[in-house]
Structure 1
Amino acid sequence: MIRGRVRQVAALRWRTGGLLFAVLVIVALPYLITRGGSQQSLAAGERVTRSAEVQALVYRIADQTYDSETAIQHLLMDDPSGHAEVAVQNTQRMVPDLLDQLRRMTEDNPDQARLVERLGAVENGRLALQQQAMRRYQQKDAVGAAQALHDAGTLYRTEDVADKIVAGAEQELQHRREDARTQSRDNSAALALTALAQLVMLTIVVVVSERQIGKRLRAEVGERQAVQRSQMILQAVREPIALLDHHLRTLLVNAAFSELYGVPEDSRAEHVDDIGQGAWADEILQQRLRDVLLRDRELWDYELTQRTVDGVERHVVINARRLQQQDSESPALLLTVSDVTARALVEQQVKELNHQLEGKVAQVSDVNRELEAFSYSVSHDLRAPLRHITAFAQKLETHLGAEVDATTHHYLGVIRDASQRMAQLIEDLLVFSRLGRGALRLQAVDMQALVEETRTLAESEAPGRHIEWRVESLPTVVGDENMLRTVWQNLIGNAVKYTGQCKTAQIDISMQRNDGGDYEFTIGDNGAGFDMRYVDKLFGVFQRLHKASEFPGNGIGLANVQRIVMRHGGRVWAEGEPGRGARFHFTLSAVEPPSPDGWMAS
């Protein structure tokens, strides 16, 4: 949204700049061209006028010089005139001033300036001879005066230089007139191009304006449609939503808010204190809402119990955040309400059930501890009488000696075997009891080494057997080494035992990672197997699926396996089929298992 707003501002700036440029081209360029043409035309006119003035000054200088000589000639011809001496004096005074004006007017033309300087030199010489002629005339030397006047006309030919100056001025006048005509044509062409540029720019402005107007209209239509859709969505949302101003008065509410708190959907400027018959009168909540407006802090999951207009007491969760209104400098507050009454009731029920469950677990733990203590006590107390039975049976057999008959010998053997079997059962029961009470001594355990050790022991106890082993690479885990050794001894021992009737026993040991990331170990064989209908009995204490005459054992090994694996946080299960072998699986965590109550790690 922010990026779109930035792009709109940038586009508006570019459009404004383009419009200003178009105005500059349409208005300023013609003005500048017209002004430049006028200034050039004025300059050309001034240059033409100056050329004419140069010609006039040259003619005036020449006329003034000729008038002075004519007045002197009249004096020499005894035709005196009272104005002759005045004419000579005027010429002597005016010609230098006229020459100075001529110099200033031709100083921008080097050729003309040189001719003017030459004209000045000629005029100075000629005026000097005229003064000499006047002095000689005044001295009654008519011949000398005539000679001086003749020399002035012969030596200093003003008309030659004046003709050159006039010719140059005439030529410059023609050039300047031609330049003026060229400038006029250029101005006309520039004005035509300017008019064309104006037409093009006006066309572009009109086209762009029409497009912008079209885009603006489409944007306004889209905005109205978006507003309508957002209002439809807002009203369709079943979660109560309200928009408040900076005084916590309503600006907008949706249908769910109106229905829950009894506020009309077109309600405006209604303070939260007046909403829902005091449902929002909580001072702490209002202070939190003001903090959201003043400090721009979002309010997350504020829990509150409200009594709504339907008289129901509800548990609600309130969230609020500050929004900046586009048409106002004051911020607004977006308020959302979630009714969690059902969840609160469920949580309360869950708490009560958890409390009850904790009590049950404590009771079960007490019962288990009592059972383990009872089992240990019974097993320990039974060992002494059993030893007495075995000892006295042996003494009785020794006392009878050779006189004992076959039946008595058989009975004594049964007593002895039964007592030994019972002693083994008691020993296994004590081991099972210790597995439930002993502390776990967690450490790094190399499962590969344990399997190799157990396999070597199993092969030594089954001499002459042909067993094919397939053992994959096994990891190092964290656990109690002695307990995990017991697991492998029971599982591998069972695999060796129940493949005793196979010509070639096949035992596979593998590991893989399950979906939860834990290690899953598998021990498979091709032995007697079992019926899956009785799989639940496998891990029970003293539970057997085969006769003792077929496969020896007391049925407690798998119970020990299950207890050890469960204490390590794993689980154990089995798969089998009669005559086709069995597969036992157990899992161990890939990380250090947690230590529950009653566990100890060293």
Structure 2
Amino acid sequence: MDRSREKVTIGLLVLSLAMLVVLAGAAYRTIEAFQRSRAELLQSRERLREAAELVSTLRRLVGDVRGYVIAGREEYVSGMPAAIEELRIRTRTLKVQVEDNTAGSRFVAEFEPLLEQRIARLNETVALRRERGKSAAEEFGSTGQGRDMDNAIARRVSEFRAVEDSAVAARMARLDRHARVTFVLLALAVAGNVVLVTVIAVVLRRELRKREEISARLETEAEQARVVSADLQRSQQLFMRLFENSPDALVLVDADRRIARANARAHELFGWTSGTLDGQLLDLLLPERFRARHLAHMAAYFKAPKARPMGQGLDLFGLRSGGDEFPVDIMLSPMGGDTSPLVLAVIRDITQRKQAQQHIERLNEDLQRRAVDLEYANKELEAFSYSVSHDLRAPLRHINGFSDMLKAHAANMLDEKGRRYLDTIVDAAKRMGVLIDDLLMFSRMGRSEMVRQPVNLAVLAEEAKRAVEDEASSRNIRWSIASLPEVQGDVAMLRQVLFNLVSNAVKYTRARSEALIEIGTAPSSPGEVVCFVKDNGAGFDMKYAHKLFGVFQRLHGSAEFEGTGVGLAIVRRIVQRHGGRAWAEGALDQGATFYFSLPANGT
């Protein structure tokens, strides 16, 4: 190395050492500034967090007071004093935090009286609710002053947040700037240590390395260009295959409404020879009555193109080469062209879909008409049943009355067979009276208005038990009544359900030395309650279970068990009117279980 090269190297060494000293001092000052900015940033975040907690507590307090006004339950406002104290403590804390901040001090000075006014109004609302009731409190709240206060508080907090966010952004920028400066200084310090060793080699090899890098980069870029070109060519070929072989009609249209390209399916759908649509105006495929309107829609679409169905909610039609129209469904998608934008229209013939829809609409209309006819027939049938049952009462009363009078007047004149005939007439009239009563009740259960309210099924079960205890006082009956839920329903109707099921259980266990009758609940689906009445009585054959709930359907003879065959029909009608269902399980001489489901309380 010659003298001049040695002097240059020594000079570079001295310069490097001087740079290290200068950079070390600058780095120290930059780190100090970084730490100060970081502390200020943490303080700003703490103030923002405190303001957010304050607003959250106030909103929770306002929500509790509103809940108390609506429900009147004291637990809503039991924590109100603590919440108010928390608001004041947080306000004082925030006041201390912003003492050295002009904008923050101004915020607290404006916010504190607003907060006290809002607290006073909330206290006044609670007092009105306690002293004068819900309507007075709601009228007091309907003036909008509370909402205005909330809006004013929200504006103050938003302004404070905006100021703090601006300060945070500025501090973050300073932090970022300090971090970058520190990084640069440290990098320069490290570089200074390396300079002495690498400067000569860098100077000598710089041009050679640069040439090698340029050569390698050019070679890489050339290879990438070849790969991109091959991929582009394959993509174009794949697109054209997909375009031509698509099962849907595809038409590319430019901004001048000319068909840039149409695939084979489009030519087939519209009745044109392959290739003849390319370059033609799109009007060729549109019925004449839509062309003027379509021109405006097309211009609007090219101004804001996006993938969407065409003519949402409208009936669209295409025009075949022979002049006949057919319904279509069209999906539009913007496509980038070589010189101008293009739109890809995906077109489907929906003639069969339209025909199916029309068929479904006709079926629905017919179904609605049949439903109306059925409803009318049911109402007529119920009215007829009620009228017949009601009109039968008068002649039946005459039969009963005159039979009793005949029995009292002429019983001694009749022989034993005559008296038996007369007793048969009296018994038959009484059975017919019971049957008419049951028919009237069945009709009433279908026509009477339901009064829905919370119903305690446990209470109704006990009432049903007490109602049959006199009849069964001489029998040995073991009762098991589980805890029953509360449901929404008509209390009179549900009382009738439990009475009918319990009286059936008492009747059909008559032959047992010890009757077992259980009332409880069974597993059910979400949103419903399933109850059952179970006995160890005569039971029934499950192949006749579908007849149990029909009117006048009996699986046992009247000589064995009295009844009209209407009681279970009444049960099913009441349960169905409540939105539930009724069914039964059993076996001959092994007892029976009758189930009914009801919507759960609140559903």
The residue type equivalent to 1:389 in the other structure is: I
Aligned to 1:586: 596
Answer yes or no: is the 8 Å Cα contact 2:253–2:260 preserved in 1. yes
Distance 1:410 1:243, change over 3 A: same
Distance 1:471 1:291, change over 3 A: farther
Aligned to 1:320: 332
Aligned to 2:498: 488
- SS, match of residue 374 in structure 1: helix
Q: How does 1:158-307 map onto structure 2 within 5 Å?
A: 193-262=202-271, 264=274, 268-275=278-285, 278=287, 281-296=290-305, 298=308, 299=310, 300=312, 302-307=314-319
Answer yes or no: is the 8 Å Cα contact 1:302–1:317 preserved in 2. no
Distance 1:217 1:546, change over 3 A: farther
Q: How does 1:159-558 map onto structure 2 within 5 Å?
A: 193-262=202-271, 264=274, 268-275=278-285, 278=287, 281-296=290-305, 298=308, 299=310, 300=312, 302-309=314-321, 313-321=325-333, 323=334, 325=336, 327-328=338-339, 330-459=340-469, 461-463=471-473, 464-469=475-480, 471-477=482-488, 479-502=489-512, 503-514=514-525, 517-558=527-568
Larger Rg, first or second structure (1 or 2): 1
Q: Deviation per CA, 1:410-466: give whole Å up to 9, x if none.
A: 222211111110001011111111122222222333334333433443455433333
Moved beyond 6 Å, runs of 4+: none
- SS, match of residue 440 in structure 1: coil
Distance 1:581 1:258, change over 3 A: farther
Distance 1:281 1:409, change over 3 A: closer
Q: Deviation per CA, 1:212-251: give whole Å up to 9, x if none.
A: 5444444444444444444444444423232322222223
Answer yes or no: is the 8 Å Cα contact 2:327–2:351 preserved in 1. yes
Answer yes or no: is the 8 Å Cα contact 2:457–2:484 preserved in 1. no
Gaps of 5+ in 2: 12-194
Answer yes or no: is the 8 Å Cα contact 2:285–2:320 preserved in 1. no
- SS, match of residue 544 in structure 1: coil
Answer yes or no: is the 8 Å Cα contact 1:262–1:275 preserved in 2. no
Gaps of 5+ in 1: 1-35, 44-185, 594-602
Q: CA deviation at 1:301?
A: 5.1
Q: Deviation per CA, 1:487-509: give whole Å up to 9, x if none.
A: 22223332333334343415252
**1:572 equivalent in alignment to 2:600:** no
Q: CA deviation at 1:296?
A: 4.0
Distance 1:548 1:286, change over 3 A: farther
Answer yes or no: is the 8 Å Cα contact 2:479–2:517 preserved in 1. yes
Q: CA deviation at 1:208?
A: 4.6
- SS, match of residue 554 in structure 1: coil
**Distance in 1 separating the partners of 2:466 and 2:215:** 98
Distance 1:362 1:249, change over 3 A: same
The residue type equivalent to 2:478 in the other structure is: I
The residue type equivalent to 1:469 in the other structure is: S
**Distance in 1 separating the partners of 2:461 and 2:391:** 36
> Normalising by the residue count of structure 1, what TM-score does the alignment of the two structures yield?
0.60
Provide the aligned length of Structure 1 versus Structure 2: 410
**Distance in 1 separating the partners of 2:442 and 2:491:** 17
Q: CA deviation at 1:384?
A: 0.9
Answer yes or no: is the 8 Å Cα contact 1:576–1:583 preserved in 2. yes
**Distance in 1 separating the partners of 2:276 and 2:217:** 41
Q: CA deviation at 1:391?
A: 0.9
The residue type equivalent to 1:490 in the other structure is: N
Distance 1:203 1:261, change over 3 A: same
**Distance in 2 separating the partners of 1:346 and 1:331:** 37
Q: Deviation per CA, 1:523-545: give whole Å up to 9, x if none.
A: 44443322222222212111101
- SS, match of residue 455 in structure 2: strand
Distance 1:427 1:293, change over 3 A: same
**Distance in 2 separating the partners of 1:480 and 1:225:** 74
**Distance in 2 separating the partners of 1:442 and 1:429:** 24
The residue type equivalent to 2:509 in the other structure is: T
Aligned to 2:178: none
> Normalising by the residue count of structure 2, what TM-score does the alignment of the two structures yield?
0.60
The residue type equivalent to 2:318 in the other structure is: Q
Distance 1:448 1:205, change over 3 A: farther
Distance 1:201 1:288, change over 3 A: same
Distance 1:292 1:591, change over 3 A: farther
The residue type equivalent to 1:305 in the other structure is: F
Answer yes or no: is the 8 Å Cα contact 2:532–2:594 preserved in 1. yes
Answer yes or no: is the 8 Å Cα contact 2:487–2:599 preserved in 1. no
**Distance in 2 separating the partners of 1:562 and 1:505:** 24
Q: Deviation per CA, 1:55-91: give whole Å up to 9, x if none.
A: xxxxxxxxxxxxxxxxxxxxxxxxxxxxxxxxxxxxx
**Distance in 1 separating the partners of 2:301 and 2:592:** 67
**Distance in 2 separating the partners of 1:226 and 1:547:** 85
Distance 1:225 1:551, change over 3 A: farther
Q: Deviation per CA, 1:112-159: give whole Å up to 9, x if none.
A: xxxxxxxxxxxxxxxxxxxxxxxxxxxxxxxxxxxxxxxxxxxxxxxx
Answer yes or no: is the 8 Å Cα contact 1:495–1:507 preserved in 2. no
- Aligned-residue Cα RMSD (Å) equals 3.7
Q: CA deviation at 1:385?
A: 0.9
Distance 1:472 1:585, change over 3 A: same
